[in-house]
Amino acid sequence: MRAFLEGVTVVVQPCTLVVALPTVALVLAAHRRGAAALAVSVLATALMMWARAAGYWTLASGGGSVIAISALVAAGFAAMVRSRDSRLVLAGAAACGAVAGWLWQPCVGEQLADILNQAAAERPLSAVRMIVYTAGALLPAVVLAAIPHAWPPAQSRLHGPFAARLGATLGAVYAVALLSGRFDDLVGALSRWSTA
């Protein structure tokens, strides 16, 4: 529970906004599959962060790998907007989540530091704690995915074509920022916005 609460405390910090932007975009782009896509994305984000901390994923996020990442993100968002196949939407969500987890440099508080330090030694427990932390950090996307289920009148707006286009546009901005090498500029802009 403390890991979740620490995740919630970093929701508006720039380090979290960098991963929250594509996650919110993903929920919007996935239409009615937003909750399932969010669950898959949070899981993929958390497990990628955990794999990096445990030493299972050592590929550096730079150079030619960023081009492949950008293509993966773009394909993931395209799958969510265009496809009616749930498997393809969930695969796109997993790809986008894994990329977000790979690039995320989270704000490290006491709970997250503990998770990262114990990732290699306490593999299953630290992975579960990372998932809980990530769910807390991405709470705005969780709330956005829950709104249509809690308040059915919102379904027409959040599952409509405008929301899907908005999600796809945010996803495209994210992919272009990665591809053009402007990801750090995006981080800076989100940092300025969150402290304004």
Query: What pLDDT is recorded for position 101?
Result: 84
HSE toward the beta carbon, residue 111, CA cutoff 13 A: 20
Residue with tokens 């306490």: 122
Q: How far apart are CA 98 and CA 65, in angstroms?
A: 14
Query: What pLDDT is recorded for position 39?
Result: 93
Locate 83 and state its tokens.
Answer: 């496809």
Collect all residues with Cβ–Cβ distance below 8 Å to 66 and sequence separation of at least 6: 178, 179, 181, 183
Q: The dihedral of CA 83, 78, 12, 118: what is its sign?
A: positive
The angle subtended at Cα 188 by Cα 140 and Cα 163, nearest 5°, is 35
Collect all residues with Cβ–Cβ distance below 8 Å to 128 and sequence separation of at least 6: none
Write out the chain's pLDDT in tens, 196 residues: 788 888 888 887 777 877 888 888 888 888 778 888 889 999 999 999 888 888 887 776 665 666 677 677 777 666 666 666 788 788 888 888 888 888 787 777 788 888 888 887 877 888 899 999 999 999 989 998 888 888 888 777 777 888 888 887 888 787 777 777 777 777 777 667 656 5
The angle subtended at Cα 23 by Cα 19 and Cα 28, nearest 5°, is 150
Q: How far apart are CA 190 and CA 13, in angstroms?
A: 9
pTM (2 decimals)?
0.81
Residue with tokens 């399932």: 36
DSSP alpha helix (H) spans, 34-137: 34-54, 64-82, 86-103, 110-117, 123-137
Task: Write phi, then psi, for 137 (nearest 5 degrees).
Answer: -65, -30
Query: What pLDDT is recorded for position 44?
Result: 93
Domain ranges in the chain are: 2-195
Query: What pLDDT is recorded for position 42?
Result: 92
